Amino acid sequence: MEHVEATLPLCVGWEYGHKQAVAKGVSVRFLDAGHILGSAIVEVFVDEGGIEKKLVFSGDLGNSCAALLRDPEIVESADVLLLESTYGDRNHRSMDATLDEFESIIVDASANGGNILIPSFAVGRTQEIIFRLGELYQRGKLHHQAVYLDSPMAIAVTEIYHRYQDIYNEKDAAVLTGSSRQSLHSFLPVLRYSTSSDDSMAINKITSGAIIIAGSGMCNGGRIRHHLKHNLWRRQSHVIVVGFQAAGTPGRALVDGAKTFRVGYEQIAVRARIHTLGGFSAHAGQSQLLEWISHFNKPRPRLYLVHGEAEVKSTFREFLAQQGWSAEIPTINQTIDF
């Protein structure tokens, strides 16, 4: 803790679009990546001998269909580009279709009396889900008794989202501020914060009518695991997977149809209905990645694919080659000179 406390005063926030010198001949500028609140595309400008070169890290680029956040800002020039490739092998389902299915799951679960569990990442995904549930509530479609946000970190981040509404996209900001609704919490009045361990355990006494949002997003830790323990074996329960599930994680096993789920030394039978809604992803899909890089002027930058599973990067490289792009996949300890 003493290391953290000594480090925090050294952190300095920069506005998007501000070019800042960070060392002799090196400047950095952040642009909105639209992935989570405050996420950034990083432009690095290097001046050597009067010649300036530019290195661009895409960072995690946001899904342009996501709620609350703006679309990733456009970059038009670079000498070297490091591009994320999380979903380089596929596109997301349309947001309209995703929201229709989301509403259908919510309505069905309400009708059969089951709880709904949503494993969710504390930053970004949770706030989008709260917003989407708020839309259903405002339309009279949400009949559950309460929505429990059972993650101290997600609660803290949700409050941060409230403080920085100035960087929301205009459409969703207008929805939140209409009719004097000033925050995600007030937009969804049935939202309940669960801060303590006792609060969290008390939720397990509820056998129907609750929507429980908890971390971790891939079910490999956090409070979601004990909620899964108390609900997975119930046939009327529903689990909605709203984020990327890496290979080898418990969440990926559920998506792939696992019949049992291990919690500690126990094997829990999986009888609940498992739903996967990839359209809620906070990452750009394949066509969105291509659209973003299409704005780079010629001569095109040297392109390297990063932040993706090996097979996905290979598939994406082949796809880009068909679009006239030559991409490389860097290896461990490789040095890139420019």
pLDDT in tens, 72-116: 999 999 999 999 999 999 998 888 899 999 999 888 888 888 899
Nearest-angstrom CA–CA distance, 35 and 58: 11
CA distance linking residue 122 with residue 337, whole number of Å: 37
Average pLDDT of the chain, as a whole number:
92
Nearest to residue 278, comparing CAs of 122, 87, 64, 36? 87
**CATH 3.60.15.10 occupies which residues in the chain?**
2-90+283-328
CATH 3.40.50.10890 residue ranges for the chain:
95-280
What is the pLDDT, as a whole number, of residue 110? Answer: 81
Write the CATH number of the domain with boundaries 95-280: 3.40.50.10890
Which pLDDT value is given to residue 3? 97
* pLDDT value, residue 22: 94
HEC string for the chain: CHHHHHHHHHCCCCCCCCEEEEECCEEEEEEECCCCCCCEEEEEEEEECCEEEEEEECCCCECCCCCCECCCCCCCCCCEEEEECCECCCCCCCHHHHHHHHHHHHHHHHHHCCCEEEECCCCCHHHHHHHHHHHHHHCCCCCCCEEEEECHHHHHHHHHHHHCHHHECHHHHHHHHHHHCCCHHHHCCCEEECCCHHHHHHHCCCCCCEEEEECCCCCCCCCHHHHHHHHCCCCCCEEEECCCCCCCCHHHHHHCCCCEEEECCEEEECCCEEEECHHHCCECEHHHHHHHHCCCCCCCCEEEEECCCHHHHHHHHHHHHHCCCCEECCCCCCCCCC
Q: Are strands 116-119 and 210-214 parallel, antiparallel or unpaired?
A: parallel
Is 2-90+283-328 assigned to CATH 3.60.15.10? yes
Do residues 238 and 114 lie in contact, with contact meaning Cβ atoms separated by under 8 Å? yes
pTM, to two decimals: 0.86
Burial 241-276 (b: 16+ CB within 10 A, else e): bbbbbeeebbbbbbbeeeeebeeeeeebebebbbbb
* Residue-level pLDDT, tens digit, the chain, 338 residues: 999 999 999 999 999 999 999 999 999 999 999 999 999 999 999 999 899 999 999 999 999 888 999 999 999 999 999 999 999 999 988 888 999 999 998 888 888 888 999 999 889 889 999 999 999 999 888 877 799 999 999 999 999 998 988 889 999 988 887 755 578 888 899 999 998 999 999 998 888 889 999 988 898 888 999 999 999 999 999 999 987 788 889 889 898 998 999 888 889 999 999 998 878 888 999 999 999 999 999 999 999 999 999 999 999 999 999 999 999 999 999 999 88
pLDDT in tens, 235-284: 999 999 987 788 889 889 898 998 999 888 889 999 999 998 878 888 99
